[in-house]
Structure 1
């Protein structure tokens, strides 16, 4: 399949963009130990966004993997995971903050270090959101691609080390027109003392038409319901 657009997101970098329905977005880790934080919104109504509790509850899962749907706070399928080299992606730990980044990796700032200062996920997200007339009040829990979290018997969250190998990829399919925001910053629970340095390749392709045998649509009755809600929404808008 022909690649429509591609980009490599350097460590610490951010990006956001509007992507129409029916696209494949393939993310590939160009090194070991990647983490890519992602937010997702309905492009036509930015107040509708990825909802972590509903996504996890409806699919009875603590993490996202192939077959799972990224569900909005309106119960619609924003996107689905159609290919995945890994065994799930983190939905629980959120993104790094300025205070967290300075404490773990040492103080840096733009005034002191220029473009080499160590960026946080929160700063990256806010900077991108403002480009679309949004602000920090539009922040929400992120999906952390390429990272996986477990929990012990006491409920403590545990970062799984050495989880993502080089060249691991995950592909999502847009089910409606979406606005996505990306931050190539560390997972908050990553114990590494040095700021991770893993570029992420992003490729966008056309997705084949969905049929009645689609794996994600039929993953469970809950995912099908989310798809049906999206199909209704798209049909009424004539999309």
Structure 2
């Protein structure tokens, strides 16, 4: 963990958005802008994907990012690396301290396998991603989905190599801030998961702020 406060003030932000509990969102971030994601009520996971806005075939790459960092968690100083090996965004402030790269996005299939057959039709992050792509109409489809980042989510690895979905390490008002190294689309699912403690079994709203 590398905790670091931001020097930026709310009054100087150029844009501010609130995303309701369990909802999708698409945000355009320009090179040179700084994005802050705020866990308003605490213990809320934000699933995120990133695409080069001018060539969406280039996207966030989990393996390249982990290789560059030499670890599986993201915090201050971590660089989000693209499928072309280029920096997309850099974490410049973080009051939470750890963000997951392995847990992936919940889906109707994973809800069924992990929990119960009757959970199949529950709302999921994969559904959110598909809804967001359809609403935004930016030329992406389900073929363009890939392993995502789970901001504020706590997914420790056991000594046996298994993943565990645990209570979050975040709290009300905690945030992570990133500087954009290129123009990107950010695809968001404010996670609706109710079957494990990643959202405290109670999904809540989150906030996004941009500085030019």
Specify the TM-score bucket, using the shorter chain as the normaliser: 0.7 to 0.9
CA separation of 1:158 and 1:108: change in aligned 2, threshold 3 A: closer
1:204 is matched with: 210
Higher helix share: 1
Match of 1:153 among 135, 148, 159: 159
1:123 is matched with: 127
How far 1:159 sits from its partner (Å)?
2.6
TM-score normalised per structure 2: 0.85
Q: What aligned pairs does 1:1-239 form with structure 2 within 5 A after superposition?
A: 1=9, 2-101=12-111, 103=115, 119-130=123-134, 131-186=137-192, 190-191=196-197, 195-206=201-212
Larger Rg: 1
TM-score normalised per structure 1: 0.76
Count of residue pairs the alignment pairs up: 198
How far 1:203 sits from its partner (Å)?
0.7
- Cα shift readout 1:69-108 (whole Å, capped 9, x = no counterpart): 0000111110010000122100001111124457569659
2:5 is matched with: none
Whether contact under 8 Å (2:19, 2:190) holds in the other structure is: yes
Distance in 2, Cα, partners of 1:166 & 1:194: 12
- Report the aligned-residue RMSD: 2.4
Whether contact under 8 Å (1:148, 1:159) holds in the other structure is: yes
1:217 is matched with: none
Of residues 43-52 and 129-138 in structure 1, the stretch that sits farther from structure 2 once superposed is: 129-138
How far 1:122 sits from its partner (Å)?
0.4
Secondary structure at 1:172 match in 2 = strand
Secondary structure at 1:47 match in 2 = coil
